[in-house]
């Protein structure tokens, strides 16, 4: 039951993002989500937070927060203006293990494995099929949206790899709360510079649909689901708990089609299935990682 709740919540976050960026500027909506989510997580879990560890590693925390939250989710939220929520979920969640392996290999923190290379190759083929209708029709805006989602996912994975290298002494809760709050502040500053923010923007956020989406993302997606996921890690272990990343995109595809009437072409549906199938191949099982490292690896890059 807990697994289904986590998979459902993180699958529904994508339609919530879509509603939010349809009513307010994307960087603004991302900033209010992550500032609130990070602040709430640090407040709720304050007894578990390693504040001294954050201060001792503030430079690394700042860099990682910039990659994982500011640059990554800035790109993802912007791209979702022009991309169906279900396709966005497939690109982000299914590409994460593929990108983690490629970046880890390039930075010499991953061992070369033929199985994982095959997974990456299959995933890239699925990604091409997802892009194909937009490339064929020449609609530059939709292509730009998909490229932004890919770029955001890759940047997130780069930040995740750097966090494993630089911030191994910080526990998952401390790292997640700090990265969301600091990165959210970075998004707020970016929004102030790049977007036309006014009183009308805040009034738009307070309308029923975007406000409900923001509350769901902040409380449901970042506090409730994350807490339940940590519980799953303890009782199931990271391998089984991490399977939500292959269930949530399916939830996102279905809800996007039902609630928002998002149209997905047949070739994109095939590409989505291929990309989802490629992800577990690329994850594999690294015998050099202990259980805590595997838990951190699966936690990074999977929450929308």
pLDDT in tens, 76-118: 999 999 888 888 888 888 788 778 778 888 887 777 778 778 8
**pLDDT value for 152:** 94
Helices (H), 195-243: 199-205, 208-215, 225-236, 238-241
- Residue 57 in contact with residue 242, Cβ under 8 Å? no
pTM for the predicted model, two decimal places: 0.83
Write out the two tokens for 95.
């590409």
**pLDDT value for 283:** 64
Residue ranges for the chain with pLDDT beneath 50: 286-302
Count Cβ atoms below 10 Å from residue 192 Cβ, excluding itself: 12
Q: Classify residue 243 by its DSSP letter.
A: T
Q: Classify residue 260 by its DSSP letter.
A: S
């Amino acid at each position: 039951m807990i697994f289904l709740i986590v998979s459902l919540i993180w699958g529904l976050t994508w339609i919530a993002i879509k509603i939010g960026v349809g009513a307010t500027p994307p960087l603004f909506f991302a900033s209010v989500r992550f500032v609130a989510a990070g602040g709430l997580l640090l407040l709720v879990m304050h007894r578990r937070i390693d504040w001294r560890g954050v201060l001792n590693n503030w430079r690394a925390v700042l860099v990682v927060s910039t990659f994982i939250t500011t640059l990554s989710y800035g790109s993802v939220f912007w791209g979702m203006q022009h991309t169906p929520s279900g396709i966005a979920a497939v690109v982000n969640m299914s590409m994460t293990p593929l990108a983690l392996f490629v970046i880890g290999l390039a930075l010499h923190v991953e061992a070369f494995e033929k199985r994982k290379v095959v997974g990456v190759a299959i995933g890239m083929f699925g990604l091409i099929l997802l892009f194909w209708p937009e490339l064929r029709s020449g609609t530059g805006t939709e292509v730009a949206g998909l490229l932004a989602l890919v770029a955001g996912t890759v940047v997130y994975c780069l930040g995740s790899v750097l966090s494993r290298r630089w911030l191994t002494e910080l526990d998952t809760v401390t790292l997640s709360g700090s990265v969301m709050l600091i990165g959210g502040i970075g998004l707020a500053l970016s929004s102030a510079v790049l977007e036309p923010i006014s009183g009308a923007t805040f009034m738009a956020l307070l309308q029923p649909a975007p406000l409900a989406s923001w509350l769901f993302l902040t409380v449901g997606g970042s506090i409730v689901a994350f807490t339940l996921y940590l519980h799953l890690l303890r009782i199931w272990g990271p391998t089984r708990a991490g399977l939500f990343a292959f269930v949530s995109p399916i939830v996102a595809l279905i809800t996007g089609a039902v609630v928002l009437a998002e149209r997905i072409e047949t070739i994109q549906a095939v590409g989505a299935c291929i990309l989802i199938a490629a992800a577990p191949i690329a994850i594999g099982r690294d015998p050099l990682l202990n259980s805590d490292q595997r838990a951190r690896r699966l936690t990074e890059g999977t929450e929308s």
